[in-house]
Amino acid sequence: MLSIIIATVPIHGHVTPLLAVAEYFAERGDRVRFITGARFAGVVEATGAQHIPLPAVADFDDRQDWEQVFPQRAGLRGAKAIAFDLENVFVRPGRAQHDAIMSAHATEPADAVLTDPALAGGALLLGHPLGARPPVIVCGVLPLMIASRDTAPYGMGLTPLPGPAGRLRNALLSTVAARTVFPRAERIAQEVNRQLHGVALPFPVLDWPRHADAIVQFTVPEFEYPRSDAPASLHFAGPISATGSRAPLPEWWGDLDGSRPVVHVTQGTIANRDYRQIIAPALEGLAVDDVLVVISTGGRALDTLPPLPPNARAAKYLPYDELLPRTDVYATNGGYGGVQYALRYGVPIVTSSGQEDKPEVAARIAWSGVGRRLNSEAPTADNVRMAVRAVLQDPRYQAAAQRISASMARAEGMAGLARIVDDLAARRSS
């Protein structure tokens, strides 16, 4: 039996995949402690893990608008918004995250720590020698964020450009980002690391997963950019858990009779307050098409939706394992977990490009050929209609999605993650 600590930032899309991880290890008999936001205590305890709340300075409620959580962010866009988020959502909570993990480890030694890549406290853990700290395994619940000569800086949503021209572009953009986007966050990370360990952080804070004991990315290589300088510690497990709800079938379920293509439209369960991101333009743009538009509000009341045209149906939640085999196009605002779930079933995708990691998700959808990317956080109805029509009419999108689905079916999944955790824990104790 292992003693495992899981630690995540208090954001739904980061916590949810690791709930399945916690349940898996708890069910096999391991001792699991899960450090995250207070609002997740109930769902954590339901997995069989012990919930440990993040310190208040590192906790917030992600169901609120960022401007409510961080009033200083109001009005910021582009590089300024990215810089603010790096500093205040990612770096500043790092010391409290580190302290919570090390306190739990001091109380009861852990054999491994599993974190999400946005947990800057993980970077600070690496300042302790292995032995004083457990092995650190980064669980890839976001597009892979490690820096590479073969990719543009993370957050720009740029697909790879091959050859020397691409590497030159990437180097120039990295220099610009280092001077304009990252400086304040880097200075804070350096100072905190000095306070803890007496030395500056020996790597860029956003690149910290490269230096962890392992990275286990929750997708397959076909959906991630190749990196000639990737660390040997990088592994691909494929999607490790079902993220679809077990909701009951709605009364209109019989309309999914195969008589017309089904377009499922969702904005997930958190970024679903502004329907302009994909739901509203999809309802308007597809109103006259011979398709069935199926909306999930992610828990919001149905009366918050725009008026539904005759070819649209809606529910708060839908049973994805029943819905996706009947779906021809998955239209989304770019949530990483939902995209992986759709690809499990070989469903091609249309996505808008929002904030946080969503531009990176959208770029990978375009790069891998599984769908169409709309380069807007609030696309027009015409743009959504044309993208959906293109995906329905061109079989290459479905073929690409099915190739990734086949790769996901071959992936080790949770067993692969467990194998890496067990190996690192065994090496530490030997």
- pLDDT tens for 199-242 read 999 999 989 999 999 999 999 999 999 999 999 999 999 998 65
Retrieve residue 187's tokens.
Answer: 């200075």
The stretches of 119-212 forming alpha helices (DSSP H) are: 120-125, 163-180, 183-197
| pTM over the 0.85 mark | yes
Distance between CA atoms of residues 276 and 352, nearest Å: 10
Q: What's the average model confidence in pLDDT over 7-23?
A: 94
Domain boundaries, the chain: 3-238+411-429, 253-410
- 10 Å CB burial of residue 305 (0-12, 13-18, 19+) is middle
The CATH classification number of 253-410 equals: 3.40.50.2000
Q: Are 131 and 105 in contact (CB under 8 A)?
A: no
Q: What's the average model confidence in pLDDT over 343-371?
A: 93
Q: What's the average model confidence in pLDDT over 83-110?
A: 93
Amino acid 430: pLDDT: 62
pLDDT band at 299 (very low <50, low <70, confident <90, very high): confident
Amino acid 70: pLDDT: 79
Nearest partner of 294 among 341, 255, 258, judged by Cα: 255
Residue with tokens 């009419």: 393
Q: Are 374 and 353 in contact (CB under 8 A)?
A: yes
Q: Are 118 and 205 in contact (CB under 8 A)?
A: no
Q: Are 328 and 294 in contact (CB under 8 A)?
A: no
The stretches of 3-134 forming alpha helices (DSSP H) are: 12-27, 41-46, 66-69, 78-85, 94-107, 120-125
Q: What is the DSSP string of 282-308?
A: HHHHTTTSSSEEEEE-TTS-GGGSPPP
Report the half-sphere exposure of 31 (CA within 13 A, side-chain side).
Answer: 10
Amino acid 144: pLDDT: 96
Express each pLDDT in 31-41 by its tens digit.
999 999 999 99
Amino acid 55: pLDDT: 96
Average confidence score pLDDT of the chain = 92
Distance between CA atoms of residues 347 and 361, nearest Å: 15
Residues making up the chain, counted from first to last = 430
Amino acid 271: pLDDT: 67
> Higher model confidence: residue 69 or residue 367?
367
Select from 3.90.1200.10, 1.20.1440.230, 3.30.70.20, 3.40.50.2000 the CATH code of 3-238+411-429: 3.40.50.2000
Task: Report the 10 Å Cβ neighbour count for 306.
Answer: 14
Q: Are 402 and 302 in contact (CB under 8 A)?
A: no
Amino acid 77: pLDDT: 73
| Region class of 157: left (phi > 0), else alpha (psi between -120 and 50), else beta | left
Task: Report the 10 Å Cβ neighbour count for 422.
Answer: 14
Distance between CA atoms of residues 271 and 68, nearest Å: 14
